[in-house]
Amino acid sequence: MKMIVPMLLLAFSAFAGGLPEPGLTMYGVVRNSANGNVRLTSGALTWTITPPSGGPVTVTALLTDLGGQYSYLLRVPFETIVGSATLSHNTLQLNSASTSYLRTNVLLSVGTNSYPAALGTNSLGYFTFTTSDRGRMEQVDLVVTVPGLGQPAAPPSFSSSGRLSHGQFQMAISGTAGQTYTLLASTNLVTWIPLQVFLCTNSAMTIWDSNASNFSRRFYQLGP
């Protein structure tokens, strides 16, 4: 009897949920049509997937920069029901017959604000899935219309400059706080060499060229 009890418990726990499947992986670009279709790389998506029967499931994904091309990657969870198992919470059942799922309900959250997102013109408002689709990947682009959201960082610029008494050349710059810039120098406006890479900690800050006194003339520019 001591051996039978744990075996029965193991059998019961094995059927507490379905068998996890690779499911569907969606990825794509999120653009803001109110701001020059800029690609968004920050925020969070909340995506509601509705099956033909049963309750909808909600999947989430954080926006990020994927390879300089895409904005998000998320997996839609599926399970296969085996025996008397029951479907896990917030999971879709994988069927042998082709089944359609609605996916038009999408919200983009940025900070405390949420905005509705529409599917791009190249994306369908539904997807079909069956056992032969395990592990499928599909590009689904999204569009939001929110003025000012995802505004590109302003390019850096020099606001003032001058040579100091001890030979250093001082430059006041304007940039976007949190952005990294490179100070480049040239003696002929043709060949440019990087002098320093720095983090812009404020919208206005000061940098120096400590070797400026070694040159009769020197030109400067700022780059990413």
Furthest C-alpha separation in the chain: 95
Report residue 99's pLDDT band, with 50, 70 and 90 as the boundaries: very high
- Are residues 80 and 171 both part of a single domain? no
3-state secondary structure of 219: strand
Task: Provide the CATH number for the domain around residue 104.
Answer: 2.60.40.3540
The answer to whether residue 7 is domain-embedded is no
pLDDT at 107 over 90: yes
Of 90, 123, 144, the last residue of a domain is: 144
- Are residues 93 and 169 both part of a single domain? no
User: pLDDT tens digits for 157-205?
Assistant: 898 899 898 889 999 998 876 677 899 999 999 999 999 988 877 778 8
The answer to whether residue 9 is domain-embedded is no
Residue 10: its H or E element: helix 4-14
Total number of domains constituting the chain: 2
- Are residues 131 and 93 both part of a single domain? yes
3-state secondary structure of 139: strand
- Are residues 162 and 210 both part of a single domain? yes
The answer to whether residue 30 is domain-embedded is yes
What is the domain range of residue 40? 18-144
The one-letter amino acid at 88: S
The reply to whether the predicted model has a pTM over 0.85 is no
**Mean pLDDT over the full length of the chain:** 87
If you count them, how many residues does the chain have? 224
User: pLDDT tens digits for 20-53?
Assistant: 999 999 999 999 998 888 899 889 999 999 999 8
